[in-house]
């Protein structure tokens, strides 16, 4: 099957955001897709060591701060965060995240 339905249950819930990881590992080992919902609470800064993150904003508004540069974003915007960059985001947004290569927690560094 090449069509993947949105998961019914959340794969993770953290303060400020939650997400549903699409089960695409049998289709591609190069990319992963996650539906992310953030509720406006402050988010910790992070650095992804290996993944490029591409966030497509489906609904809502907010901002991303990447390496200290803050940019507002909203529905229809694409935010690209190359691996190695420190970033955070905040707002009330629903986003589709494309991780290349697929995300895993060991690659992530949380910066408080």
Question: Over the stretch 31-73, which tens digit does the pLDDT of each residue have?
Answer: 999 999 999 876 678 898 999 999 999 999 999 999 999 999 9
Q: Where does the pLDDT of residue 78 fall: very low under 50, low under 70, confident under 90, or very high at 90 and above?
A: very high
- Mean pLDDT, the chain, whole residue set: 92
**Percent of the chain residues topping a pLDDT of 70:** 97
pLDDT for residue 40: 82
Confidence check: pLDDT of 84 > 90: yes
The answer to whether 70 touches 63, Cβ cutoff 8 Å, is yes
pTM: 0.92
Three-state DSSP class for residue 77: coil
What confidence tier does 109 reach under pLDDT thresholds 50, 70, 90?
confident
Which CATH number is associated with domain 13-75+92-106?
2.60.120.10
Averaged pLDDT for residues 75-80: 98
E strand segments, the chain? 12-14, 17-21, 32-39, 45-48, 52-66, 69-74, 78-81, 86-100, 108-111
Q: Which residue bears the tokens 């200290």?
A: 68
Quick one: DSSP state of residue 76? T
Q: What's the pLDDT score for residue 42?
A: 67
């Amino acid at each position: 099957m090449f069509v993947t339905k949105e998961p019914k249950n959340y794969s993770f819930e953290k303060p400020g955001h939650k997400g549903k990881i699409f089960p695409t590992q049998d289709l591609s080992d190069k990319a992963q897709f996650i539906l992310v919902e953030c509720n406006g609470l402050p988010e910790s800064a992070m650095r992804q060591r290996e993944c490029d993150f591409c966030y497509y904003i489906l609904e809502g508004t907010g901002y991303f701060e990447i390496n200290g540069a803050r940019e507002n974003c909203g529905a229809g915007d694409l935010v690209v965060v190359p691996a190695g960059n420190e970033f955070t985001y905040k707002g009330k947004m629903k986003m589709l995240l494309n991780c290349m290569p697929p995300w895993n927690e060991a690659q992530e560094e949380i910066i408080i």
